[in-house]
Chains A and B, each alone.
Chain A
């Protein structure tokens, strides 16, 4: 426990004086909390019973004065605590975000978004809450018990003993209650989460639901989840209905005991009436804070566990950290892979890959799913690092390049386009936020996206992403492509980046790219032979190795090669059409099979 707080020291140390202030003010606030019973006692004893009526105005004003002062101290100590907690939380959250922004890709391969989110929200909050009011809450509880019992013992030992007996009962009940409440609340959150994702899935898949006329099934699934959420809430109610009345009754029992014992003492002149009245009023100032003990202790344990989970993020290794002078220069785009091997965990995914791409060449990668095509291109901008061998760009190992300079000059278009919740403009300008509207338009035009964007009522201002306009897969891919083009990269990587657009559009995009990528190096991963056949070099991959390399016509010549097999599978369709329909075009395709032009 101490260890967690010691390791998080850097975050709260700069603000610690606010905690000290809070604790200091707390002592005064607690002490003043006992002023009312004390003044009440004096009013009864001295004014009412001893008839010193002249003291009344002073005592009455003192009640008011004590309330004002106590209020002031209470407010300040709580605010100082909140200030301490939220500033520490603020720094911590910023640092976590910074850290996440620098984590390598393999980190994101192994963690779940949901898990990271719960750390960044629930865990951060648990820690902040402890710093903001858990710490001084515990201190306040101790002070109230010490001061309260002190006052009681100074007034009457016997009555004080009666009240002291109640304290452990309250403490044990409160701790046991909260230990059971905590898992129940987790269950409420969990069942709510299940209900929520169930409804979300249902709405997203509504077309499928309706297609199969499965509305009734979906409603019964919903009823089960809704029922589970209801049951979890009722479980919490079961705990509350036992806890609250019990605490209330214990306090009330104290009242009865004080009236009985105190009354007897007063009747036998062992105690005066004012003390009895004061006892009655101080009792509740002890009872309610005690009922919070369980909550406060739980808060502490949760904060420690939460702190550990946050430290896991903060302490994750930083393999991309800069070590020594880095190479930053204008990239020409010459790529050399020599003897490159690569592993995901212990699983080898690439074995001894060697090739050279001259600046300005187009390299196409072809192969079945899982052959290692994406792995190969991911090594260029160091999304992953090699296990053996080296990847060099312009003669410099990528690991010696300045990471910023490297990535700014290589633009990758991923298989799954990701759009952020903002305007189309900002999405295209994601890597180049200063770009002019004209530049964005041009990039969009080359990606064949300008036409559909300009037809939208809000054009480039249209909001996309999670809650914005729903775009088709092909439209998203074209926006992602425009994003890459706008980077004006020395190396462009298209990782199956036009899979969701139809053939006609893909053809147009390729024509445009040929112009813009003049003199730049391009890597294309694709399934359609038509997309790769114009490449300067085609690398055919199978199970992490290059099994064939060359130009289209060279590869086609190998009757038993993988490339020829893929080609045949794709073109048998057209051969059949041609024979049945006698299309001039189809015959043309067939006649060109051999020369590839």
Chain B
């Protein structure tokens, strides 16, 4: 669809209207794709994984098929044979057979509905699980490269859009082909001449059904597109309402919204115009069919070649043509949609983690916490060096402060140490083991990472602190919170430790979030701690607690701290000063102050702003 919008072209010239667009809501990627056999095969493997279900569903469907074909035949026979000849016994016998046929149909429908849905839902559930588990194990780089929204859309919407195909499409299309063939065969065997003449309407039905359903579906796609933009705006407008009111933007926004709303309504009414055409078109082609049937049928009847019952049966069969034909038309549509979604799903499934454990990787034994970087170089993209030739060594229990301007390479060191990325050159040793040779989960479970912005999962405060150590008891959690001075503010919350929180809209302040992440880290009790201090200004009292909590957290662990607070830096055993991806100075606070180099200047600058 709007592929061109997504790709950034550096030389692009923008119009003033684009610059001033009040709001911009990007649409999802392509909605349909051309048919591709390879992809189709891969998709249907998911169905073929359940051969028993498929077989049973087909058997049930065959029961339906039998009733569809046999029912009208029996009605025709009753009219001609029993009623025409006046035989009461035969009429009762026919009625019983008919009733049995319909009873079979009842049972068959029951199981067909159940089994086809079970099959479809199971396939969807498994596919979604496979996709989620796969994505979950991809490296951090994968997530850094794309907005969270687009990953979500694939796992949820793209998988859901296959639901229709798997529940109804697959089994139904097999049945529909059988039904069509069955009806054709029966009609031909009952009366070939009448059958051939009435078949004239079949191609008409096909054309009407495929063309019209295509138009209808595209029309609804446009409606859904408009609706999702409208809803995106509404959600945003409500969340940003305070800004809108503060900046008195109401009338501009009202105009914009009414335009969107009108656009939606026009598309909606257009979709209605084509959709409600479908019923009359069905009626019309059926009427044409009936007209031909009676005209020619009565001609044959006069010649004594057909009976009244046969005409009635033919009228019934004719009515049964529509459903399979329109469903086959629909299947074609479903396939086009499935092509686009499955292409995106498979693209994710085919992406491999950039940080992958070797097959022979071993679990890292319990570590002491000695860390060494040996001539480590890393580039996020070829040619964009983030750090170059970085070597240092941390003894167990030491605190290492990383200092430097934004973009100097501090975060890269953290990312490499946690093995979110693998170095492009050099190696990283933990207790003498090259971390690339060890299983990354065994490494990460012994490293605690405190990010600058703490992520809050929806759940209680208890759940959040327990995140890294789900087995911890409530008492352990509270003890951990107490240890890092988080207990006080938690108890002041409305339900204490059981207060429900979530990422957005939680009323926790930046400082409180950081205290929470300290508690989370200390409960997981890692040997190595990687900590990114918050730069944000935090109210003085909480700040005071954070400093005290930090001391507790750092004690007895090897800690790497991207530090912003002078008190933290000063107490570090080693300070590494980064500049443009290199370590330019290293030593303790007093050593570096005496050096009067980069570090001295950084500290001086801080005082200047404070003064």
Q: Is A260 an interface residue (CB 8 A)?
A: yes
Q: How far is the CA of A566 from the CA of B535 in the complex (A)?
A: 19
A249 touches B102 (CB 8 A): yes
The interface on chain B, measured as residues whose beta carbon lies within 8 A of the other chain's beta carbons, has a size of: 163
Nearest chain A CB to B354's CB is how many angstroms away?
Answer: 13
A56 touches B294 (CB 8 A): yes
Q: Is B555 an interface residue (CB 8 A)?
A: no
B21 touches A426 (CB 8 A): yes
Q: How far is the CA of A223 from the CA of B131 in the complex (A)?
A: 12
Given contacts A203-B152, A230-B121, A414-B243, are A213 and B440 in contact (CB under 8 A)? yes
B609 touches A205 (CB 8 A): no
A242 touches B110 (CB 8 A): yes
Q: How far is the CA of A265 from the CA of B593 in the complex (A)?
A: 114
Residues of chain A within 8 A of B155, CB atoms compared: 199
Residue among B117, B246, B281, B611 making CB contact with A589, cutoff 8 Å: B611
Q: Is A1 an interface residue (CB 8 A)?
A: no
Q: Is B10 an interface residue (CB 8 A)?
A: yes
A426 touches B537 (CB 8 A): no
Q: Is B423 an interface residue (CB 8 A)?
A: no
Residues of chain B within 8 A of A207, CB atoms compared: 140, 143, 420, 451, 455
B109 touches A248 (CB 8 A): yes
Chain B, Cβ-Cβ closest to A437: B19
Residue among B122, B156, B510 making CB contact with A195, cutoff 8 Å: B156
Q: How far is the CA of A59 from the CA of B451 in the complex (A)?
A: 82
A585 touches B604 (CB 8 A): yes
Given contacts A203-B151, A369-B539, are A592 and B19 in contact (CB under 8 A)? no
Interface members, chain B 254-309 (any A CB < 8 Å): 254, 257-258, 261-262, 265, 268-269, 272-273, 276-277, 279-281, 283-284, 286-288, 290-291, 294-295, 298, 301-302, 308
Q: How far is the CA of A421 from the CA of B230 in the complex (A)?
A: 13
B593 touches A421 (CB 8 A): no
A211 touches B25 (CB 8 A): no
Given contacts A94-B261, A383-B246, A589-B610, are A201 and B458 in contact (CB under 8 A)? yes
Residues of chain B within 8 A of A423, CB atoms compared: 18-21, 24
A457 touches B536 (CB 8 A): no
Residue among B238, B244, B457 making CB contact with A201, cutoff 8 Å: B457
B148 touches A203 (CB 8 A): yes
Chain A, Cβ-Cβ closest to B272: A82
Q: Is A63 an interface residue (CB 8 A)?
A: yes
Residue among B22, B23, B156, B235 making CB contact with A113, cutoff 8 Å: B235
Q: Is B219 an interface residue (CB 8 A)?
A: no
Q: Is A465 an interface residue (CB 8 A)?
A: yes
Nearest chain A CB to B507's CB is how many angstroms away?
Answer: 10
Interface members, chain B 148-172 (any A CB < 8 Å): 148-152, 155-156
Given contacts A103-B241, A259-B94, A407-B246, are A574 and B451 in contact (CB under 8 A)? no
B91 touches A264 (CB 8 A): yes
Residues of chain A within 8 A of B8, CB atoms compared: 457-458
Q: Is A466 an interface residue (CB 8 A)?
A: yes
Residue among A79, A108, A383, A465 making CB contact with B276, cutoff 8 Å: A79
Q: How far is the CA of A215 from the CA of B538 in the complex (A)?
A: 32
Q: Is A2 an interface residue (CB 8 A)?
A: no
Given contacts A431-B248, A589-B611, are A90 and B570 in contact (CB under 8 A)? no
Chain A, Cβ-Cβ closest to B257: A97
Most chain B beta-carbon contacts within 10 A, residue among A203, A280, A589? A203
| Contact bitstring A73-86, B, C-beta under 8 A = 1, else 0 | 01100110011001
Most chain A beta-carbon contacts within 10 A, residue among B102, B311, B420? B102
Q: Is A43 an interface residue (CB 8 A)?
A: yes
Q: How far is the CA of A108 from the CA of B604 in the complex (A)?
A: 45
Q: Is A317 an interface residue (CB 8 A)?
A: no
Given contacts A93-B261, A208-B451, A433-B22, are A506 and B609 in contact (CB under 8 A)? yes
Nearest chain A CB to B163's CB is how many angstroms away?
Answer: 9
Selecting from A160-168, A551-559, A576-584, the interface stretch reads: A576-584
Nearest chain B CB to A552's CB is how many angstroms away?
Answer: 12
Residues of chain B within 8 A of A584, CB atoms compared: 604
18 new A-B contacts, CB < 8 A, other than A117-B235, A219-B133, A527-B543, are A36-B287, A48-B311, A70-B283, A71-B280, A79-B269, A94-B257, A101-B253, A199-B132, A212-B524, A234-B121, A249-B106, A255-B75, A369-B509, A381-B246, A430-B243, A430-B247, A468-B147, A501-B535
Task: Give me 23 A-to-B residue pairs in the complex whose CB atoms sit less than 8 angstroms apart, sorted by A's number.
Answer: A47-B298, A53-B298, A60-B291, A60-B295, A64-B287, A72-B280, A74-B280, A82-B276, A93-B261, A94-B261, A117-B235, A204-B148, A212-B445, A212-B467, A259-B91, A276-B83, A411-B247, A414-B246, A423-B19, A461-B19, A502-B564, A577-B570, A582-B590
